[in-house]
Structure 1
Amino acid sequence: MVDVGTDPATGKRKQLTRTFGRLKEAQAEYARITVRRNEGAFVSRNKMTVNEWLDQWLAKKAEDLEETTISTYRVTLDRVRGRLGHIRLQELSEDDVEAWMLWALREGRVRPTKAGPGLGVTSVEMSLTRLKEALNRAVARRLVAVNVAQEITIPRKVRKAERRAKAEVLPWSAAEVHSFVIAVKGDRLYAPLLLSLMGLRPAEVCGMRWADLDLDKATLAIANTRTLVGNKTVVEKDTKSLAGERDLPLPTLVKAALRNFKATQAAEKRAAGQAYEDSGYVLVDELGTPLNVRQLREQAYKVMAENALRRVRLYDARASCFTYLANNGVPDHLLARWAGHTDVRTTQRWYVKPDVEDLRSAADTWSGLTGPPTPVVREM
């Protein structure tokens, strides 16, 4: 019998009893436990499984995270649970985690009837990140001695192979944005789609209310979002971060489109009478029912298809917007403010994506490095 510390809940002394066949074995274990206790690293044995610990960890995280975020955490960890969840937490090994990672990369996209192709590197990396975070907390709670997933990383060769095989879909160039604006001009949702081209997130467009707009002063306030969880449940909440709550000026084109859209909705309300839902949102259908991000995306894709425009994600309109603003001299601090980011490095890393034509001016500038062109001498 050996003291292993104090119960933090009751303050009472905690003791551990172990039985051995030989005195020498008992003395060795007594010494080991005493040393670990004095180092503050002793871990009592328990039968908790990985699944049980993940349930506890997610329940605690749910107290601080938004519903949409915790939903993403659950989906991400569900990829791990099927193969590792039944293992006792203290018996989980680095080999177990590495074997899961390799399986996920090869055939992790499980279908109801058979295994599918492997998950993408980003999906597997997200699952590893969440698992490492949960295991770090288990170490802090003295449920395990070490985080066995800490050193597991996706092989560099796998990353490079995926990059070679997966063609990157670039955001629209300025010329493509112009084509989309012309194509969508007669669409009922012209104004909301212009808000997307201004760099607003789809959830911000869906959460925009007429009360958030001051058309006389040509400003809008972003303070509310409406997004989808599991692509079916609408969740309304405040902005993604404090930086996301921001005021922006309205360009003349967008201001005029919003005025027209407001007039259109007034006419629709008169025509529908009591059947009209006066929700106060900007993005609504002909009966005033708010539209969600999926419906906004589908309308954008419909316009792209009907006008033979290159299909890109509506969210990538943010990259088109911020790349154009950066190329045309908007200072970094204003760019981050417009995007709703605390750190301009986030804007630059993920949303400023110059293409080869954007670099043309750099090529022209480089020409000066080689000196003035050699004059051509003509023979008389």
Structure 2
Amino acid sequence: MADDTIKTVVLKNGKKRYRFVIDIGPDPKTGRRRQKTYTFDKRTEAKNERDRIRNQRAQGTFVAPSKVTVNEIIDSYLAVATLEARRNTKTNYQHSFRCVRERLGDMPAQGVTVAHIVALVKYMQSSGRKRGGKPGTGLSGRSVNLTLGRLRAAFELGVQEGRLARNVAALVKNVSYQQPERKTWTKGEVHTFLKAIDKTRLEVAWRLSLYGLRRGEVLGLRREDVRLKARKLKVVQTRVMCDSEVIIEPPKSRNGERELPIDDELAAALERLYKLQSAEAEKAGAAYQDGLAELEWYEGGQYLVTDELGIPVHPEWYSDEFGRVLKRAGLRRITLHDSRHTTLSLMEKAGVPISVISKWAGHFDSAFTQNTYVHANPEDLAAGGEALAMLHKIS
């Protein structure tokens, strides 16, 4: 057999080379037999390499030399990892590999070293955030680690498929960073906000955000999702941003589709909203909701959060308007998503079991709710100090 013989090759200058030809397994695309020629300066080097390949083939660990690129490894991983994912999730996965594709995408994946990945990390930390198509500021530690985690997963799949000999990405550790502390309101600040938005046009929207609903869940609610007489609302869809486009998607997790009770204040606000929208529709006539026909995602139904012509508001405008409302009310600045953290934290402090809070939030795991969404602010620490003082007090 050809792979049993190491041949001596004499070059024109008289120097000797030692060569062998060996089977490297079938082509993964065609299934045809493949052979590769190896040439070395020394016979012992040729023999050692031949024996190494034989041993790895016998153990099923041999990886044939390949020019498959990092981009191809990523594409294979994304096809598996996002097989049943929502469109927005698929887009997020794609975005997480942006810097990898830019810096390493065209390289043969088998040629990527730890040094390449370390250089990639440094680039992401310094210039990874694009500004008008040009390198900008560094990405956050969380974003860098997210990219590293998915690159490890992509390379690991390459190993399992026999396209890579080892996962060099697994040798690079996550960067250290401090998670920014969430800002949440006290009960008093929530009351100030509710007074500021009382009987305003978007009162229902702001109350729903302080119900603990995600932005996309608030903006995805329609009249048909609300049973006012039964005092119930059901979260069945979300309106979210995806590549600068507004789309409709199912709730974020399997527990995201849920039914929540409507309290008296929210019920009264909904009744006022229905009357207002009816008056606006009558005043606008044929112009009311005309713009909906141009929206690819629209499938009918009256949305709760709309402008005066019945057109659902843009998600980014909604977040920006939240900030403007806070400024007018003189309230401490928090993000719209922080209002969700505020709600779940206040529910926990009110004695609501964490299992109930998790279900209310649409989470799949109570521990995740507790660790991610329940926070203590200075007011809570002061209350804890008072309780401790009572325990230490000697009568």
The two structures share one fold, judged by TM-score above 0.5: yes
Write the letter of the residue equivalent to 1:264: L
Q: 2:325 aligns with which of 303, 306, 312?
A: 303
- Residue in structure 2 matched with residue 336 of structure 1 by the alignment: 358
- Residue in structure 2 matched with residue 35 of structure 1 by the alignment: 55
Secondary structure of the 1:18 match is strand
For the 8 Å contact 2:281–2:310, the answer to whether it is kept is yes
Query: Using a 3 Å threshold, how does the CA distance of structure 1 residues 134 and 185 change in structure 2: closer, same or farther?
Result: same
Query: Using a 3 Å threshold, how does the CA distance of structure 1 residues 62 and 343 change in structure 2: closer, same or farther?
Result: closer
- Residue in structure 2 matched with residue 90 of structure 1 by the alignment: 110
Q: 1:261 aligns with which of 265, 273, 296?
A: 273
Query: Using a 3 Å threshold, how does the CA distance of structure 1 residues 110 and 266 change in structure 2: closer, same or farther?
Result: closer
Shift of 1:3: 4.0
* 1:19-54 Cα shifts (integer Å, max 9, x gaps): 425654443222111111122211111112212322
For 1:274-313, what aligned pairs fall within 5 Å after superposition?
A: 274-277=286-289, 279-313=301-335
Query: Using a 3 Å threshold, how does the CA distance of structure 1 residues 154 and 242 change in structure 2: closer, same or farther?
Result: closer
Task: State the TM-score, normalized to the length of structure 1.
Answer: 0.89
For the 8 Å contact 1:3–1:13, the answer to whether it is kept is no
- Residue in structure 2 matched with residue 108 of structure 1 by the alignment: 128
Q: 1:198 aligns with which of 201, 211, 216?
A: 211
- Residue in structure 1 matched with residue 94 of structure 2 by the alignment: 74
For 1:356-367, what aligned pairs fall within 5 Å after superposition?
A: 356-367=378-389
Choose 336-345 or 15-24, whichever is displaced more. 15-24
Q: 1:140 aligns with which of 160, 175, 178?
A: 160
State the distance in 2 between where 1:124 and 1:23 align: 46
- Residue in structure 2 matched with residue 349 of structure 1 by the alignment: 371
State the distance in 2 between where 1:100 and 1:50 align: 13
State the distance in 2 between where 1:365 and 1:331 align: 21
State the distance in 2 between where 1:349 and 1:206 align: 27
Query: Using a 3 Å threshold, how does the CA distance of structure 1 residues 319 and 50 change in structure 2: closer, same or farther?
Result: same
State the distance in 2 between where 1:322 and 1:51 align: 41
Task: State the TM-score, normalized to the length of structure 2.
Answer: 0.86
Gaps of 5+ in 1: 374-380
For the 8 Å contact 2:233–2:261, the answer to whether it is kept is yes
State the distance in 2 between where 1:365 and 1:288 align: 51
Secondary structure of the 1:247 match is strand
For the 8 Å contact 1:192–1:283, the answer to whether it is kept is yes
Secondary structure of the 1:145 match is coil
- Residue in structure 1 matched with residue 193 of structure 2 by the alignment: 180
Query: Using a 3 Å threshold, how does the CA distance of structure 1 residues 155 and 228 change in structure 2: closer, same or farther?
Result: closer
Write the letter of the residue equivalent to 2:259: D
State the distance in 2 between where 1:31 and 1:66 align: 48
Shift of 1:206: 0.8
State the distance in 1 between where 2:76 and 2:151 align: 13
Gaps of 5+ in 2: 4-21, 290-299
Aligned identity (percent) is 33
- Residue in structure 1 matched with residue 8 of structure 2 by the alignment: none
For the 8 Å contact 1:212–1:222, the answer to whether it is kept is yes
- Residue in structure 1 matched with residue 73 of structure 2 by the alignment: 53
1:250 aligns with 2:262: yes
Query: Using a 3 Å threshold, how does the CA distance of structure 1 residues 238 and 327 change in structure 2: closer, same or farther?
Result: same
State the distance in 2 between where 1:137 and 1:128 align: 14
1:17 aligns with 2:33: no
